[in-house]
Amino acid sequence: MLPLGHVAYTWAALAWMQSRGQATDIDYRGAAVAALLPDLIDKPLTLTLMSGSGTSQGPGHTLLGQALLATATAELKPEWLPYALISGSHLFADQMWKYPRTLFFPFSGRLDSWKFMGTPSAMLDAYAEIATRPEIVAVEAVGLVLFGWLVCKHRLFRRGPLKRFLHTGRTDRSLAGDDPSDAQSQEVRARTCA
């Protein structure tokens, strides 16, 4: 999955949970970073320390890496545990069960290798190839639709809601519990968007 897809699916799941009164304190900005965290860890490693590995999926894409992240987060900053769990969902989105050596690394002995990605141009070439696969195009198109739905649902095409979202990391819906007038304005907005 590409970055837009990781963020869009994560935000859609978060919006669904928040519509049911759950996860209302989760910051969408933090959720986006968490959704991308395995790639934010592994891509720089691929271009530096792991340039000969033949993969861009390293420690951040392993069960051990995610277990260590969740354990450290639970011990050091428990309120961030939802973000560690979001990071772990990245493995599901990337279908890591198809790459068992990477998923179970270091117990499997080595990482799954696809092709050389140890330079920026090699990595860009690899992702250009991935981005043209029909199954990836379909998944990313659904992600784009989800992203558009979230923009419409939360009126993020308007300056006020967008500014609030960028400043607070929350949608009007996740802020509704803080101010009763927000709930009323949401009801009005919901009727005008439909």
| Residues 159, 118 contacting (CB under 8 angstroms) | no
CB-side exposure of 99: number of CA atoms within 13 Å? 23
Half-sphere exposure at residue 63, Cβ-oriented, CA atoms within 13 angstroms: 12
Predicted local distance difference test score (pLDDT) of residue 12: 94
**What is the spatial distance between Cα 33 and Cα 127, in angstroms, rounded to a whole number?**
20
- Give the residues of the chain that fall short of pLDDT 70: 173-194
Alpha helices for the chain (secondary structure H): 3-19, 28-47, 63-76, 81-93, 100-103, 120-130, 134-153, 159-168, 172-175, 180-193
Q: Is 12 within 8 Å of 146 (Cβ atoms)?
A: yes
pTM, to two decimals: 0.82
Q: What confidence tens digit (pLDDT) does each residue in 73-94 have? A: 999 999 999 999 999 999 999 9
Task: Quote the pLDDT of residue 191.
Answer: 52
List the domain boundaries for the chain: 20-133
